[in-house]
Structure formats: structure tokens, C-alpha cells
Structure 1
Amino acid sequence: MSMVKMGAVLREPTVWQVAAGEQALDSLAVLNDALLAARGVAPTAADFFSPRYERDVHDPHLLHGMASAVEMLYAAAAKGDRVLVHGDYDADGITSTAIIMDTLRGLGVSAAPWLPHRTDHGYGLNRSILSDLIDSFDVLVCVDCGIAHAEEIAWLKEAGKGVIIADHHEIPAVLPPADAVLHPRHPDGAYPFGWLCGAGVSWKLAQALLRDPRSGEDGQATEKWLLDLVCLGTLADVVPLQGENRAVVRFGLEVLRRSRRPGIRALVALLGETAFVDEQTAAFRLVPLLNAAGRVDHPLAALDVLLAETPAAAQPLAEALQRLNRRRRTLSLRVQTEAEQVVAEAAADGLPVLFAADLSWPAGVVGLVAGRLAEKYGRPAFIVGGSGESAVGSARGPAGANVLALLQAGAAHLVRYGGHVGAAGFTVTADNIAALQHALLAAPSIRAAAPMRQADAVVADSLISWETLESLEKFAPFGEGNPKPLLILQDVPVRDIRPVGGRGEHLKLSFEVGGRTIGGIGFGLAETAAIGIKAGGRVDVLFYLEVNVWQGQRSLQLKIEDIASAGTVDIRAAAALAIIKQ
């Protein structure tokens, strides 16, 4: 009999919320219907499993302002006007910029890119930088930014510049006075799908330009070759993978696997991917390479890879990006270790908010660290880094936490802030960091809660089968709004358990499931799983069903997300995922 001796338990008792209810499902048909319902999709909606380009990709001219944008850019081409494409420093902003640069250059437009440095310039339009650039362009195209910069855009219009905005962020009460504002949720528009990312909106502009008779292109054929970039941006920005986004990623992955871009080919080769690139590879291996440039250096390093025209030019650029990503991983690990030394005590004391600040921490990695700590401890995490008079912070929250509302409670101590319910960024002067921490901890509506995991269904032993795995894979591509199905098995006998990994940080198990032995692997669970699990005991398991390939042999495996002695986890029914308009 083997037993794993666990380290200190760092989490409170966990809650597993189950969209399909607490009753174990023993029918594959019922499981499939439950999964569709949890995603806001009717069981009869065969369209979900079979996206079609002509049906699911909408006419770009349905976006309010598209005709004006197209006319301005073709007029610029005819007059020889210079176009500046202003993007953002993250993967969505970088791919958005690449889409428009690729399209404009193909149409013979004189175009140049501008991407801000995360620390030096900050997000969005910077009046000082625009003043320096003002004589270098006639038309400004803002991609993945611009909607919240009415003052800067009014100044540009007074200077006689044309301005087009292609953005997807929250719409302010007063829209900026641009010549065209392209946004899927424009208050005067009626676009059928409101959850495109920046790359998605940029692609709609590219579509409209390429479909115009003046392009001289086979518009639809050319626009499809941009889908590798749109796919990466969509996965990077974690927008709901339903409706048009699902179609974009499904078809985008096909283009990504046979991309014409030397830079993407070089990046995939560096990953060692010789066959199949799926959404997991794209989201968790390619996107971090693009994001690394903006986190620890300059985002132009990533843009240059995407726009490289030859393999000889792309290879050294891709290798440089890989080195930046290794540096990003090293910095993230150091900051996480140091921040956790601060927040672990606060978590043990039951404080409702985790807060750590150190001006030596690079601003580009604090968001990653905040996300990991929020997930681990089940409460909002605020991590502050940067240097100089002002510090840059990121906030991340577990399911159900509103970090933006928390920042509003501390707004008096902030230079600026913004973001979404679950993720936000902020700037604070160094001498206001302590006051901000106090305000966050004093926010009256915040309570510490047990970590909560969102599962799809409790299943019977009989559903651990190849047929079930094949059925689950039809739900791909997975992502926000369509997560990979997360299942629960209850009261499962443990045949064997042992630590694996260089530091013994992972768990390798085998279970008795319906009279068969099924393997399981739990990455990073040796420190945080429940104490006392041993061979011969019984457990509840939260897992993804997957295939394991070892020495050419394929077998079913449980990829374990959480595990506890049977009956010790609070398993409760939960509401379905928010329905996204198809």
C-alpha cells in the first residue's frame, strides 16, 4: 500500500458547483444535452457542432460605420495618404495590428504600425506620443483601442487627421468623434454578434476592404488566410467561443495548421509541433510567445515575427521571441514566489482580499501572478509592480468576484483604473499603495469564500468510455463560454497513488472505475490535495476525460483538477453558463 504525505493544506474546503445538478448522469445522450444547456445552446442546435463559414461569419457591413471606414481608406490609397495603425501591447492588439497592416500593404496603402510600450506608454492613445507622431500620418486606424479616448481623438480631428476606431472594449457614455467607430455593440448598430475581440473587429474591416471591387482581390479567399491571426487573437482575449467566434476559431485553426506566414511557421516549429495544432496549443503555447514581447520587452518584437516575409527573416525573430518567453517565465516564477510569501499569511488569517506590492516586480507579469494566486486561494488578488513614482497593478478574481467594483471602492487612491469584472488593471502612486490596500480590505461587500470550481456534470462509472471521449471532443474548440467539459466521479476506489515530478509536486493515481483500472494525473496537486488520500481509500474526483499515449499505447485517463476524500467536498447544483447570443 502506498500513500502520499501531503504538505500543508493551503485552501479552505472546496465547493464544486455542478451545472447539471448533483445527480450522477448515466446516459451519454443526457450528458450531451446537459453540456449544451450549460452553454446556452438548445439540444436541437446542430449548428453548434457544424459551423459553416457562409452562415456563421457575418457580413462586415453590418457593423455601424463600416462604409465610412472603407471609403476613407480607399481614398487614402488613391491620394497616397499615410496611414498609422495604432494597436496594443497584448496578443489581441498585436494580431489586430498585423491583420490591418497585412491588408493595407496588400492594397498598396502606405501604412506603418505603432504599438505602445506597456510601462513607458501605458494602454491606449497617449497624447504625448501622438504629438511626436502627428506629422508622420494622415489617417489613424486604432485597433483594439480608441473607444475610451474621446479627448485624444477630438484633438486629432482638430489637427485635420482622419480617425477610424476598430475596438471591442466597453463603450463609454459618449463616443469619441472619430470618422468611423467600428464596434460589435455600437449603440446605433445592429451587428448580430456582440463578443468579437479586437482581432475580430479588425478582421471585419479587412473583410470589407478585401470584398470591395477596388481591391482587385478574390475577397473571400484572401480574407480566409487572415484567420490564423484572428484565431490567435480570439483565443488570447478569452472572449466567448460561441456564435461567430466559434466559427472563427474552428476555421482559424485549419488555417493556422497550414499558415502561409513564415513567422507562424517558425514559432510552431520551435514548439516541436510536427502534426496537429489545436486550440490548447494555440492558446497556451503560441499566444504566450506573442504576449511575452509586451510583458518583458516591446510588442514590436512579436509583430515583426507575424509580418516577416521570408523564412530567413522569420527564424531569428521567432528565436528571439522564444528567449523573451523564457525570461517571462523566470520573472513570473520569481514574482509569484515572492508575492505568495506575502499573501499566504493573509489567506491563512481569512482576509477577504490578497494584496502584495513591490516596485521591483516587472509590471508585465503582475497580471499573470494575480491570476494564479486568485485561483489558488479562491479570493481576489491585487498585485502591484513597476517602478518610479507610479506603480502598475493587476487585479484578478475567482468566479463570482467583482474586482472592478473593489477598485471603485479604492478609486480615491488611484491614478487610473479599468477592466472587467474578473480582471482589471490600475495605476497608483507609490505613496498611495498602503492606503489602497486598506481601502480594499475595508470594502464592506467583500467576504472571504471557499474556493469554488465550476463543473459540468457528475457522471456514473459507465460513462468513462471511449464513446464518451469521442462525444466530448465534438464540443471543441474549447475556450471562454465553451469550456472543456469538467466532470465529477464520486466515491471512487483508489488503487494506487504516488508523487511524481522532479520535486514530487504532481500526483499519479490509478482508480477502480466500473471494474476497470483507469489512470489519473494531477499536476501540482501533491501540495494542495486533501491530506490522507491513500490506496484502498475512496475519493471524489474533479477531472477532464482525456487520452494518454505511452510507448505507442492509448488509454483513457483522468486529468485531475481536484481530488478529496469521498464526501468531504461540498458538491452543489449551479446555474448554467451565461447564454451568449448566437
Structure 2
Amino acid sequence: MCETILNVSSSLGNNKWIGNSLTEDRQAEFIMQRSDVSLLTATVLAIRGINPEEVDQYLNPKIKNLMPDPCLLSDMRKASNRLIQAVKNKENIIIYSDFDVDGTTAASLLILWLRHCGIEPSLYIPDRITEGYGPNINAFTKLAKKNTLLLCLDSGTQAFESVEAANKENCDVIIIDHHQVNQNIPKSFALINPKRKNEDPTFFDLCTAGLVFLFIADLNRISREDNKKEFNLINCMDLVALATMADVVPLKGLNRAFVHQGIRTISKNKRPCFEALAEQANFRSPITDQALAFTFAPRINAAGRISDAKLATKLLTTKNLSDAEKYANKLETLNMERKNLEQSVLDSALLQAKIQQESGANILWMFEKGWHPGVIGIVASRIKETFKKPAIVIAVGENGIGIGSARSTKALDIGACFIKLKEMNLLLSGGGHSMAAGLKIDSTKIVEAQKMLSSIYKPINQEKKELQINAVLSTSAVSISLLEELNSAGPFGSDSPFPVVAFPNCTINHAQILGEKHIKISFSNNSGSRIEGILFNDLGSDIGQFLISKQKGKAHIAGRVEINEWGGRKRINLIIMDVASQ
């Protein structure tokens, strides 16, 4: 049983603040005593289940210590041998990838490997609007007639008909994917997917770029056995780190090592794509895991959202800075256009969501003609965060076919639900992950699918309006050195969240509105030291209105503390998550 923190039973965010478990607090004390780390860092380690003797290895993860034999994955060596054979025989090879960061990064890794082998491969990325997610029969048939080997990346696990179409043209299909697997699998030449039955759990959480890393590692092993020059895979860790952060996979085990090593690779040898993107974003700080997720990934994703995703692979694979700058400039323009489209769809979808929320809907469905399919995933994420419920946003085309994207909570495995709806012929296609998935649906069946999903909605666990506070600190207790040490326990993200810190009895010294929807404040408590904080996208909420109207009032403020570095100067900054008035 976790105790209530600072007697906050109902905050302005409607949360009860609870502390760590007694076991976690005791373990944190034990780690701090046995290791040279602060109590805050020790608390993070205790919550992660790290023992004192494991601290050094956890803070310094090494791929060689965490990576098992790639051939433990089903079809890995079979796929490697087939690609080696295709290279030796100079066969026509086509890469078919998804249009998001994971897909384009996975494609870029294979493009770089094939170039190392002296081959310039062909690349096909389906158009998000006209073709939608995943393989389609027309594209596979057309490509199979011109190629003898098709490498399908970040999709394909549910592509039964498309794979069969390629087989009829005598084209072998190798699928490398990490999306959910049904009872049946397509009759491809090889399917590398860690979610197949009886796979080693070490691989389960890898994104497709991580799987391609293992694939190339096995290709390197074959090259080594044949006394051929190996591809420098370690130099590509920056791309694997980018995809791992962008795809929001759990940051534990091998994924932590990928990101940790990838950040080091960027700091030692900045790839032209990162240098050019940083310039466009006016990003002057060292590139971190959070920068990959929130500064670089959205810009790379913009290509596939509203234009041609091949632009992303061109940027990621070029060695020429001038070309990288040209591609990055185009992506920056697309990203600005994406933001405008996103806001337009979000405003409309929020109106529908509020009506459903008031009616007591347990899953929020928003759909409309004319919405741009490229931004519905972001909108679904925003609505899910606003209402704390699964959200499905569908853009209906002129032909009556809807392209949808969903973001869920821990209470609902949305990917499995979409597979079930497809089996019931309520979806044309659908699938994905437990927390994020996509669908294609005849708009005349949306209401029926909505009713059916509500009836089969069986929460994995009951959602609770609780915010776990990991530490209560005075503003003077937080320093740059403390946060630099804390960052060594990162990367932070999915399944490895930032610690939430509460600052009690704070005086809000200053508050101002930024960009019509954010609020920046400075605050201090009894220690007198001031900290800056920012509340994102929440001006109209109870928290936002309190911060603006109670500038001289007292409050408990909770959030995640980070280092904000600009122009060589480091500042402490709090990303505000909740506020409790006094």
C-alpha cells in the first residue's frame, strides 16, 4: 500500500498523489549506501528492480553483454543466407518499408549494407493516403514481377494475400516486423518477428530497426566466415537509437543499450542528417534521447505523413552535408505544414471527443471526411492524453474508406482488438501494438465496429487516477550535477519513465503564456532557490488557469526535472505534470 504524498487526495489534475512502495524506498536506501549514487537516482534504480551489484552494468549498458545470438530468432539464418545468395547472384532486390521513422530507418540500414556490397537497391514505400499502411496486393504483384527478392520491413505480418501474390510471381519475400502475430502467419520465404510463438523473450520489445541491426549482425558473421570485409555496424547505432526512441518501444534490456550506444555514436561522429536537422530546428544543445524523440523524429516522420517518405531515407543515408541540408530543409517545410494540419484536425476531433466523454463512452471514436490521414496518429495521442481513454481517429476518404489510428491505455490491448474486429469482417485491415494500432474500414461499418469494440472491451487492469511521486524535494536540493547523474539511469521513455518529483509549498513568482497554449513559470519554496517550469498544451485546464490566476499563491508542484541547455548554458527546468493548491 502506497501512502498519500503531501496529503494530496485530489489535485487540480484530479489525481491522488501516492508515493513509492515501502519495498522500493528501502531498496533505494540500500542502493544509495552500497553505490556512489544519489537517493533520487537510487530510487529510479529500485523502481526498475535493479540490485546494488547490478548498478554499474545498468548505468553502463553494453550491447555485447546484452545481445544474444541473432539466430535464436526463427528464420534469421534462413533470411541471411537468402540475401547473401541474392547479392552473389546479382539478383534484383527491392526493399518495401513502412513510412514511419522505424520503417524508413530500417530501410536505410539495409540500403547502407547493400551499398557496402556494391549494390544500389530499389526502395518502395507505400503512399499513406492512396495505399495506406502495410503491403497491398497491387504493389506486391507489380514489384514481384521485376524482382526475385522482396524485403518487407516494419509491416507484413498480416499480409497474407499480398505475400501470396508475390509467391505467384516467383519472388521470395522476407518479412522483418515487430507487430502482433495472429495464429496464422503468411507463407513468406522468411518471417523474422519476435512476437512469433516460442521466441526468445530477449527480442520481444525490439523495433524493426533493432531487428535489422541483428539481421546485419548475422550477415556480418557470414561475411567474416567467407573472409569478406564486414560492414561497420557500430557506426549505425545512431540510426538504431533514433528508431528505438521514435517507435516508443520499452526502454529496457537491449533497447537501452541501443540508445545509450547510439547517443555516444552521435557525439563522436555526427551523421550529416543529424547536423542538418539540428540546424533547421535551431537546436544548439547536445543530442540526447529526448531530442531524438521530440526534435528529430517528428521532422523525419513529416515526410511519410504528408509527402513521400523516401525523402527520409535519402536524408538518413546521405554522406554529403550539402544534400542533407537540402533534404532537411524540405522536411522542415513539411513539418510546419503537418503542424497546421494537425491543429485543424485536433480542434474538430476534440469537439466529438467531448460529446462522447459526456455520454460516458469508454472508448472515444472520432471520424470525419476530409481529415488528413497523415496526422490522425498524433491527434489520437493528444486525445488519449487529454481524456485518459483509448482514442481512435479515422480520416474518411471520398471513396467512403476510412484510415484510422488508435492510441490506447494499459487497460486495453488495441492491436489485438483490431485483429479481432478484422476477423469479424468489421475492418478491411487492422493490427499493431497493445498501445498503438492502425485500421482501414468501410465507413458504413464504423458505428457497428464501435459498438462491438465497446462490448468486448475487457480492461487488463483498472485505470486509476493516481500520480506516483518518486521524490519530494526542495528547490535548493536540485542541481545540474544531480540531474546529470540522474540522466545516467536513462534513457527515459516507454516502460522507463522519468522520476516524478514534487516540490511542496511553492510560491509562483512569475507566470506567462507562451504560444497561446503553454505556460512558463518560475517558482520557489522555503529554500528560496528558484526553478523554471513549463506546462505544455494545457492553458485551458484547471492547472493552467490556476498557474495564471494564482501567481502569488502557494501550491505543491509535480513534474519531471530536466536540464535545459542553450548556448552552452545549463538551466534546471521542470516539465509540469500536476499541481495541488493549498
Q: TM-score, normalised by structure 1?
A: 0.85
- Spell out, residue by residue over 1:53-86, the C-alpha distance to the aligned partner (whole angstroms, 9 max, x if none): 3223344333333322222222212211111111
Deviation for aligned residue 1:128: 1.3
* Aligned counterparts, 1:289-438, within 5 A: 289-387=299-397, 388-404=399-415, 408=420, 413-438=426-451
Deviation for aligned residue 1:296: 0.8
Deviation for aligned residue 1:454: 4.8
Change (3 A) 1:553 1:359: same
**Which residue type is aligned with residue 152 of structure 1?**
S
For residues 388 and 93 of structure 2, what CA distance do their matches in structure 1 show?
A: 46
Per mean C-alpha deviation after superposition, the further-off stretch among 287-296 and 18-27 is 18-27
For residues 447 and 161 of structure 1, what CA distance do their matches in structure 2 show?
A: 41
1:273 correspondence with 2:283: yes
**Which residue type is aligned with residue 36 of structure 1?**
L
1:41 correspondence with 2:50: yes
Judge conservation of contact 1:83–1:112 (CA < 8 Å) in 2. yes
Q: Which residue of 1 aligns with 2:580?
A: 564
Per mean C-alpha deviation after superposition, the further-off stretch among 407-416 and 418-427 is 407-416
Judge conservation of contact 2:284–2:566 (CA < 8 Å) in 1. no
Q: Which residue of 1 aligns with 2:559?
A: 543
Deviation for aligned residue 1:316: 1.9
Q: Which residue of 2 aligns with 1:500?
A: 513
Judge conservation of contact 1:24–1:458 (CA < 8 Å) in 2. no
Per mean C-alpha deviation after superposition, the further-off stretch among 251-260 and 403-412 is 403-412
1:512 correspondence with 2:502: no
Deviation for aligned residue 1:546: 2.7
Q: Which residue of 1 aligns with 2:35?
A: none
For residues 345 and 461 of structure 2, what CA distance do their matches in structure 1 show?
A: 24
Deviation for aligned residue 1:376: 0.9
- Spell out, residue by residue over 1:419-443, the C-alpha distance to the aligned partner (whole angstroms, 9 max, x if none): 2222222222122334444545666
Change (3 A) 1:454 1:463: farther
Judge conservation of contact 1:264–1:305 (CA < 8 Å) in 2. no
Deviation for aligned residue 1:21: 6.4
- Spell out, residue by residue over 1:445-473, the C-alpha distance to the aligned partner (whole angstroms, 9 max, x if none): 57999874653514243883225423322
Per mean C-alpha deviation after superposition, the further-off stretch among 202-211 and 433-442 is 433-442
For residues 252 and 375 of structure 2, what CA distance do their matches in structure 1 show?
A: 29
Deviation for aligned residue 1:505: 4.0
For residues 445 and 192 of structure 1, what CA distance do their matches in structure 2 show?
A: 28
Per mean C-alpha deviation after superposition, the further-off stretch among 180-189 and 77-86 is 180-189
- Spell out, residue by residue over 1:307-349, the C-alpha distance to the aligned partner (whole angstroms, 9 max, x if none): 3342333322221111111111110011111111222233344
| Alignment match of 2:106 (pick from 80, 96, 99) | 96
* Aligned counterparts, 1:72-471, within 5 A: 72-109=82-119, 111-187=121-197, 189-190=199-200, 192-211=202-221, 212-213=223-224, 214=226, 216-219=228-231, 222-259=232-269, 261-387=271-397, 388-404=399-415, 408=420, 413-440=426-453, 452=465, 454-455=467-468, 457-461=470-474, 464-466=477-479, 468-471=482-485
What RMSD, in angstroms, separates the aligned Cα atoms of the two structures? 3.3
1:480 correspondence with 2:494: yes
**Which residue type is aligned with residue 560 of structure 2?**
Y
For residues 462 and 24 of structure 1, what CA distance do their matches in structure 2 show?
A: 21
Judge conservation of contact 2:380–2:406 (CA < 8 Å) in 1. yes
**Which residue type is aligned with residue 415 of structure 1?**
L
Deviation for aligned residue 1:100: 0.6
For residues 186 and 547 of structure 1, what CA distance do their matches in structure 2 show?
A: 40
For residues 378 and 412 of structure 1, what CA distance do their matches in structure 2 show?
A: 29
SS in 2 for 1:358: strand
Q: Which residue of 2 aligns with 1:570?
A: none
- Spell out, residue by residue over 1:384-425, the C-alpha distance to the aligned partner (whole angstroms, 9 max, x if none): 114122011222224434444665579554323212222222
Deviation for aligned residue 1:95: 0.5
**Which residue type is aligned with residue 577 of structure 2?**
E
Judge conservation of contact 2:363–2:391 (CA < 8 Å) in 1. yes
Q: TM-score, normalised by structure 2?
A: 0.85
Judge conservation of contact 1:378–1:451 (CA < 8 Å) in 2. no
**Count of residue pairs brought into register by the alignment:** 555
- Spell out, residue by residue over 1:214-268, the C-alpha distance to the aligned partner (whole angstroms, 9 max, x if none): 473244xx01112121111111111111111111111112223455643343223
SS in 2 for 1:371: helix
Unmatched 5+ stretches in structure 2 = 1-10, 33-37
For residues 482 and 510 of structure 1, what CA distance do their matches in structure 2 show?
A: 27
For residues 276 and 135 of structure 2, what CA distance do their matches in structure 1 show?
A: 32
For residues 550 and 206 of structure 1, what CA distance do their matches in structure 2 show?
A: 37
Change (3 A) 1:447 1:434: farther
**Which residue type is aligned with residue 502 of structure 2?**
I
For residues 368 and 522 of structure 1, what CA distance do their matches in structure 2 show?
A: 19
Kindly indicate which of the two structures has a greater share of residues assigned to helix.
2
For residues 568 and 455 of structure 2, what CA distance do their matches in structure 1 show?
A: 57
For residues 448 and 347 of structure 1, what CA distance do their matches in structure 2 show?
A: 20
For residues 130 and 178 of structure 2, what CA distance do their matches in structure 1 show?
A: 24
For residues 51 and 535 of structure 2, what CA distance do their matches in structure 1 show?
A: 33
- Spell out, residue by residue over 1:153-204, the C-alpha distance to the aligned partner (whole angstroms, 9 max, x if none): 3443343222322222223323333333323344465474322110011111
**Which residue type is aligned with residue 506 of structure 1?**
I
Per mean C-alpha deviation after superposition, the further-off stretch among 367-376 and 451-460 is 451-460
Fraction of identical pairs, as percent:
26
SS in 2 for 1:542: strand
**Which residue type is aligned with residue 469 of structure 1?**
L
Unmatched 5+ stretches in structure 1 = 1-9, 567-582
Judge conservation of contact 2:140–2:163 (CA < 8 Å) in 1. no
Per mean C-alpha deviation after superposition, the further-off stretch among 346-355 and 468-477 is 346-355
Change (3 A) 1:292 1:60: same
For residues 201 and 82 of structure 2, what CA distance do their matches in structure 1 show?
A: 21
Deviation for aligned residue 1:275: 4.7
Change (3 A) 1:166 1:283: same
Per mean C-alpha deviation after superposition, the further-off stretch among 472-481 and 395-404 is 395-404
